Each structure stands twice: as structure tokens, then as C-alpha cells.
Structure 1
Amino acid sequence: MLQKVFQLVGLIVLGIHVCSYQFNNIDKHMKYFAISVEYVVHKFNEDQDDEFAYKVLQVWRSQHQRWTWIFLIDLELGRTICKKYEEDIDSCPLQHGPGVKKVRCIYIVESLIWITQFKVMNSTCIQT
């Protein structure tokens, strides 16, 4: 229970921090945003001790900071039955039963797509 409280406080603090960036809504299918989403999901899977991969269930917010390539990515991830280093995670079915896990994450990412460079400036994830 205490862990959930700390995670909630973390999301609130990140939300306050995000407000100072003055983000604007963009189309979640915009090429550079979509590539940045792929990067953060890959990074999330790499950083997890879990042997199973997570995939995007829903993009809640797609925003960017005006005149920059800094994106706010707010998404929900679901745990799949596939291992995290398999080829096509997007087509993997989600787990059912007691192993079911969903995670809500907010990332602030600077994306320099033309040189394939990404920098996660801030991130917060909580299990839902």
C-alpha cells in the first residue's frame, strides 16, 4: 500500500514538472512521435527484470514541446506471453490469469531521430 502511495506521489510530482515544459498535443501517429514510442517501449523492456515483453495497449497523451523534439509520452503497457527479445512483440497476445500486469508510464524524451539518438529526460511508471 505504501509503495502505491509513493508511486502516486511520483506521478503527481512528474505532472507538476511536466507542466513547466508547456507541451502541446500532437497526432500520436506522427512519425517522430511514433518512433519515440517504439524507443521507450524497447527501453522499458530492456530495463525490466521480467523475462516477458510488454507492448503498448494505449497512448493516453501524445505531446511535444514547441520548437523542440522533446516529447511527452503517456502510455499503458501490457505484459505479453512473448519473451522480451522476440521479433514481433506487437503481435504477441497478452497474458491472462494471475500473471497479468499492466503498467502506466509517462516519459519525457528528447528525440534526435536523424542521428538515431534518444535521451529519456524523465520517466515514471506505476503498475495498474
Structure 2
Amino acid sequence: MLRKVTLLLVLVVLGMQVWSIRYEFEDVSKNLSYFLMSMEFAIFRYNEDNIDEYAYKLLRVRRSQGKRFSWIYLMDLEMGRTVCKKHEEDIENCPLQKGPGEKKVRCTFLVDVLPFYTKFTLLNSTCVDK
């Protein structure tokens, strides 16, 4: 009986390792529709959660990856602080702050998408000032 339990446990552990290898992240196009929507969602959440009164906008996509066989996207973004407040309409066309107010951040976001419901969930975010 103990052998059967041990064998079953070993098979479960090996199966989980094979499963995790199969579902690693791979590069995806920065123009992929759900990646773009996930990126917009991540930037929106960053602006909402940030205590800064000014909005940040995308400067550069440093990494765009998707988890195989899922709708989870990993993105590494560089963003800059704008002169617009975060609840203004057109942040994309808002100029960046210059001089003492100039600030850039680099963030890594992990976003899960339920495409049939157009629902986005921020699983993780890590940001550092540049």
C-alpha cells in the first residue's frame, strides 16, 4: 500500500513539472488584440492605484509575452509622467512633464483575460522608478 501511494505521489509531482514546462510564457506580437487591451488595462490600473495626481502613459513595450494555452499576458512597460491629471480624457496625446516634474517608471504586469466576458484581472504588478 505504501509503495502505491509513493508511486502515485511521484507521478503527480512529475506530471506537475511537465505541465508547468508546457505552459511557460512565449513572445507574442505587441499588436495582438488581447495583448493591447491587457496593456491598456494595466496602465489604467496603474494610474488608478498610484497616489500621484498625474497620469502616466506608455513610452515603450520592453517585453510582450503570453502564457501558452491561456489568456495570461506578461508585459514589461516603460511609462512616463504626463502634465495631465489621471482622470482627464485624452492621456495618450498629453505631453510628458519636463524638468523637475519629469518621472519615468518601468513596470512588469501580469494580466489574466476572460475574452468571452471582456474581463481583465491584474494578477501582479511590480514597478520601479527610472
| Same fold, judged at TM 0.5 (above) | yes
Q: Structure 1, unaligned stretches of length 5 or more?
A: 1-19
Q: Deviations over 1:67-95 (max 9, x none)?
A: 00000011001000011011110010000
Work out which of the two has the higher radius of gyration on C-alpha atoms and give 1 or 2. Answer: 2
Residue type of the alignment partner of 2:37: I
Q: TM-score of the superposition, structure 2-length normalised?
A: 0.80
Q: Which residue of 2 aligns with 1:120?
A: 122
The structure 1 segments of at least 4 consecutive aligned residues displaced by more than 6 Å after TM superposition are none
For residue 122 of structure 1, report the CA deviation from its aligned partner: 1.4
Give 1:23's match in structure 2, choosing from 22, 25, 43.
25
Q: Which residue of 1 aligns with 2:93?
A: 91
Residue type of the alignment partner of 1:77: M
Give 1:32's match in structure 2, choosing from 31, 34, 48.
34
State, as a whole percentage, how many aligned pairs show the same letter. 53
Q: Structure 2, unaligned stretches of length 5 or more?
A: 1-19
Count of matched residue pairs? 109
Q: Which has the higher contact order (CA 8 A, sep 6+)?
A: 1
Give 1:41's match in structure 2, choosing from 29, 40, 43.
43
Q: TM-score of the superposition, structure 1-length normalised?
A: 0.82
Residue type of the alignment partner of 2:96: L
For residue 113 of structure 1, report the CA deviation from its aligned partner: 3.1
Q: Which residue of 2 aligns with 1:57?
A: 59
